[in-house]
Amino acid sequence: MRHAVEAPGYARFSPQWIVAVLAGWLVTTVVCFALVVYALGPMLQAGDQRAALDGVRADIDKALGQTQSLLGAAPPSRPAEFGSPVAVLEVPRLDLRQVVLEGVLPGQTAAGPGHVPGTSGIGQPGNAALAGRNSGYGGPFGRLGELRPGDEIVVATTQGRSAYRVTETVRRALDETADYGKTANDRLTMVTSASWWPLASSQATVVTAELVGKPFRPTPQNGRAEAQDGRSGDTGAWASLLLSLGGFVAAAAGATYLYRRWRPVSTYVITAPALLTLAALAATSLWHLLPAWS
């Protein structure tokens, strides 16, 4: 009996091979996710911080120039735009210096700590609240639990410089009424996730600090929606996740086929850039679905 001869270039896809390939791509996806957030993320955040620092410095210089004019500085007529820089935060004990942005959605906290909408303006009367990331994108608030009563926190806005003294550092569930609500004193509330785990949202590290001296004049502030508390993700990221993940799966399938049928080096040169780009986009979109303070 004559045996069948396989045609040149024929590639047999056994069940074991398919399982191994799927497992390999799954591991690759998870690794890309971690690299984007914990390796590439800090670099992206540093770039965003440099751009935001230039912006807030320009705003401060402009406000200073207006105060020295005959007419004086005109009071703001509307709240800050979401994602725009509103203050420079310095915490000497933590060797921390960050530009604070308006808003606490994941895309905003990826660039730096966010001012919680609906709370008082920073350095102004009442309770100004900030939410920042614990571990992702450089984790600027990752060491928040190290603050102790008496530690100094300094913020600079277009109105001037304000100093706060830490009164309490606790780990507990976030209480929106107490942490983001109105207070009898003028204070700063800083919150982050109590865990490095990206999905954690039940426990928070909460630091409260009391304003030293008199507050500046209040200015218009944005209202806060229910999801703008730092614990929620951005549901609008689903569309970009599905598109980028679908493209990644298609590119991975094409790359796997070409590796079996073509020269590996040529296949790598052609497919690697597309795979890396789509993996980064998918990881970024997936991270935006997770709590904004992670």
Instruction: Tokens 């951005």: give the residue.
Output: 234
pLDDT recorded at residue 73: 58
What pLDDT sits at residue 71?
Answer: 53
Structure tokens at 86: 């509103």
Map out the domains of the chain as residue ranges.
42-212
pTM of the shown model: 0.85
pLDDT tens, 21-69?
778 777 877 777 777 778 888 998 999 999 999 999 998 888 877 766 5
Tokens of 7: 């045609």
Dihedral sign (CA 241, 246, 248, 249): positive
Token pair for 228: 């703008």
As given in the structure block, the two tokens for residue 158 are 């277009």
Instruction: Find where tokens 């993996």 sit.
Output: 279
Phi and psi, residue 24, nearest 5°: -65, -45
Cβ distance 144 to 166 under 8 Å? no
Alpha-carbon distance 287 to 199, whole Å? 10
Is the model's pLDDT at 248 over the cut of 50? yes
pLDDT for position 251: 84
Tokens 């040149």 correspond to what residue?
Answer: 8
The correct answer on CATH 2.115.10.20 for the domain covering 42-212 is no
Could you tell me where the beta strands, DSSP code E, fall in 94-239?
A: 96-102, 114-115, 127-131, 152-157, 160-172, 187-193, 204-212
Q: How confident is the model at residue 276 (pLDDT cuts 50, 70, 90)?
A: confident
Give 118-176 pLDDT, tens digit per residue: 999 999 999 999 999 999 999 999 999 999 999 999 999 999 999 999 999 999 999 99
Q: Is the dihedral of CA 103, 105, 111, 115 positive or negative?
A: positive
Residues 19 and 140: their CA atoms lie apart, in Å, by: 40
Q: Which of 81, 22, 84, 26 is nearest to 52 (CA)?
A: 84
